[in-house]
Amino acid sequence: MAQKRGSLSINSDNIFPIIKKWLYSDHDIFYRELISNGCDAITKLKKLDMMGEYTLPVDYQPRIDVVVNPEEKTLTFTDNGLGMTAEEVEEYINQIAFSGATDFIEKYKDKSNADQIIGHFGLGFYSAFMVADEVHIDTLSYKDGATAVHWECDGGTEFTMEDGTKDSVGTTITLFLNEDVLEFCNEYKAKEVIKKYCSFMPTEIYLSKAQMEEGKEPELLNETQPLWAKNPSECTREEYLEFYRKLFQDYKEPLFWIHLNMDYPFNLKGILYFPKINMEYESIEGVIKLYNNQVFIADNIKEVIPEFLMLLKGVIDCPDLPLNVSRSALQNDGFVKKISDYITKKVADKLAGLCKTEKEEYEKYWDDISPFIKFGCLKDDKFCEKMTDYILFKNLDGIYMTLPECLEVKPVDVDEESVTDEAGNQVEAEVVTEDGEDAQTEENPEKVIYYVTDLQQQSQYVNMFKAAKMDAVVLTHHIDQPFISQLESKNQHIKFQRIDADLTDTFKAKTSKKAEKEMEEQAEVIAAQMKKSLKKETLQVKIEKLKNKKISSMITLSEESRRMQDMMKMYAVNGMDLGAFGAEGETLVLNANHPLVQYVVAHQDGDNVDMICQQLYDLAKLQHAPLSPEEMTKFIARSNDIMMLLAKED
């Protein structure tokens, strides 16, 4: 063939006009594109062999060799695929954007499975010009009588093409790097980038230096049969763990994993791991790597991976993804939403199956995976619908219950003479009917589920619940508040109420009408005294006879007020004063059965009544929420004063 000169013909009928320097956002991606092209060429040659249109040599070993040459500032990529004739170079290289892969699929669409052809746009080769001042191609076609071709281009639209000297079937691409990117011909940098993009490509990839040390062989950099490509029944537990450690450099064992394996209506494989996370000290952002035919595309592409699953770690390989020209983003396609929905469904099915068939194992995982699941319920209505009955709630005895089980819990009959508090003190108790006051009835269709947010802070309320044989669930995570609000909105008959939101009749002692009238009179007196002593004119004060005579005072805060207060804190701007707002809905409950309360009623003009009122209020507040630094200082000083009074009496 006589030497030929010409200009590259740019065909942009089916893609956006592409300028070589703007082709990709990450310059290191040329490694992936050139190696992918080599994989395609090898895949095509093997398919031709399968169809009887070509016979591979007996000793044929498909491979791609990458050679770095820092001295010459070059990189070479060599594959032993089907190669190209001069006509094919003219068609596939000189006409930018004419896809060889597309042409191949069209030609053999009735004879072969095209799933494993990576390229779609024919632009991967031109990524080389992002880093190279000059690019050479040496190629020899598999076709009988083919002549080798040598092609050169200096990055402009001018090229030179002539007969070449290559004597083996396949293609070698040589890049003469520009001065700004010489790091790419460094052996260690090349290894890093190839492992990033090509660790699981279906053809073996070897890396070597042009001047190899004696006895040193090219290094194999990839695994051609990744674990996700295997049938789940063929994979062992140790293989899953080893794959996780190798891919994510995480040596903490994951809780469990889900192996996705789907062939219809689209091809999708993958493994999703639920990692064990220390919520206080670690980021809860995971990494899900997206692949297309074992070619790495990107991490955490939100169009494919549901937002809540980005807390997980794993891989998803979907050859059917409609990628854009750079393979690093997705076209806006309804098909992508179907893939996302499928992944969500498989995760929900797996979790529901675990809860139904391996409840004990599911309970072991629950504290670690509950943020994933609750976040998923908040973000995805379909996921929430599937998971609602498999959300677990831990009660005061540490027993896990599903939401339906929580709704079935009813107060049990209590022997009035046998109830004691946790300290062993006998307390009064009235018999509670089987239905209880909060049971669901025609008149009262709303079922209340009590909950605790801090077992230590709310311990007095917890003790009261236990003494009354009542139960509550423990919700200590930040995500629990928006989650229970969502459950209430989706289940109108359910209401969550913190145990310090109100005092149910269960905790109140029986009183006669005469005693009730006396309490009403005392309430006015003591309310006035408390407001005067505390200098809190807006303070809400109630007086009740509680069964447990050891309790002097408590604070309740209505559920609505507390949730509004939490929301205000969440969205508060700097300098916003929430103190006044926080007091709304707050009630100080004084136990008429306690001697200190009776002392205040009987000694309104006493020397120590202000101190006792202040102490009663702080004691109540301590059981409800932390004291401010100023309040704590006063409380300690006052406690010392009270002890000094006791010491003087002795």
The per-residue pLDDT for 440 is: 45
- As a whole number of angstroms, the distance between CA 218 and CA 204 comes to 11
Number of C-beta neighbours around residue 253 at 10 A:
12
Q: Tell me how far CA of residue 435 lies from CA of 297, 432, 492, 493, in angstroms.
A: 58, 8, 20, 16
Q: Compare 232 and 158 and report the one with higher pLDDT.
A: 232
Count, residues in the chain: 650
Mean pLDDT of 517-530: 82
Question: Which domains are present in the chain?
Answer: 4-220 (3.30.565.10), 227-360 (3.30.230.80), 391-502 (3.40.50), 513-649 (1.20.120.790)
243 is written with which tokens? 């794959």
Q: Which residues contact 203 (CB under 8 A, 6 or more apart)?
A: 38, 39, 42, 43, 62, 63, 64, 79, 224
Strand partners, 554: 589
Q: Are 545 and 508 in contact (CB under 8 A)?
A: yes
The per-residue pLDDT for 565 is: 76
Q: Are 572 and 581 in contact (CB under 8 A)?
A: no
Does the bond joining 322 to the residue before it have cis omega, within 30 degrees of 0? no
Backbone dihedral region of 537: left (phi > 0), alpha (psi from -120 to 50 degrees) or beta? alpha
Kindly state the helix (H) or strand (E) to which residue 68 belongs, with its residue range. Answer: strand 63-69
Q: Tell me how far CA of residue 581 lies from CA of 453, 532, 550, 585, in angstroms.
A: 21, 21, 31, 9
Q: Compare 240 and 249 and report the one with higher pLDDT.
A: 240
Measured in degrees and rounded to the nearest 5, phi and psi for residue 438 equal: -100, 5
Q: Are 116 and 203 in contact (CB under 8 A)?
A: no
Measured in degrees and rounded to the nearest 5, phi and psi for residue 548 equal: -85, 105
Q: Compare 482 and 605 and report the one with higher pLDDT.
A: 482
Strands 204-209 vs 473-474: parallel, antiparallel or unpaired:
unpaired
Kindly state the helix (H) or strand (E) to which residue 507 belongs, with its residue range. Answer: none
- As a whole number of angstroms, the distance between CA 329 and CA 167 comes to 39
Q: How confident is the model at residue 284 (pLDDT cuts 50, 70, 90)?
A: low
Largest CA distance in the chain: 119
Radius of gyration of the chain (CA): 37
% of the chain surpassing 70 pLDDT: 80
The per-residue pLDDT for 173 is: 95
- As a whole number of angstroms, the distance between CA 382 and CA 575 comes to 40
Mind listing the pLDDT tens digit for each residue in 556-587? Answer: 888 888 888 777 776 654 455 544 444 567 88
- As a whole number of angstroms, the distance between CA 377 and CA 242 comes to 31
Give which of 421, 587, 568, 380 is closest to 481, Cα–Cα. 568
Q: How confident is the model at residue 181 (pLDDT cuts 50, 70, 90)?
A: confident
559 is written with which tokens? 């559920």
Mean pLDDT of 93-100: 61
Mean pLDDT of 3-11: 64
Q: Are 278 and 126 in contact (CB under 8 A)?
A: no
Q: Which of 15-24, 146-155, 169-178, 470-479 is least confident? A: 15-24
Mind listing the pLDDT tens digit for each residue in 102-145? Answer: 554 565 455 544 444 444 435 678 788 888 889 999 999 999 99
Measured in degrees and rounded to the nearest 5, phi and psi for residue 98 equal: -90, 115
Mind listing the pLDDT tens digit for each residue in 301-341? Answer: 777 777 788 778 899 888 877 665 344 555 555 677 788 88
Q: Which of 133-137, 332-336, 456-460, 469-473 is least confident? A: 332-336
Question: Residue 17 above 60 pLDDT?
Answer: no
Q: Sheet holding 540-544: strands in order across?
A: 540-544, 586-591, 553-557
Looking up tokens 């450099």 gives 249
339 is written with which tokens? 């893939």
The per-residue pLDDT for 404 is: 87
Question: Residue 84 above 90 pLDDT?
Answer: yes
- As a whole number of angstroms, the distance between CA 635 and CA 618 comes to 7
**CB burial readout 443-482, b (16+ within 10 A) else e:** eeeebbbbbbbbeebbebbbbbbbbbbbbbbbbeeebbbb
Q: Which of 104-118, 245-259, 404-418, 463-477 is least confident? A: 104-118
Q: Does pTM top 0.75 for this prediction?
A: no
Query: Which SS3 state, helix, strand or coil, does residue 266 take?
Result: coil
Q: Is the dihedral of CA 47, 50, 55, 58 positive or negative?
A: positive
Mean pLDDT of 359-382: 88
Residue 94 per-residue DSSP state:
S
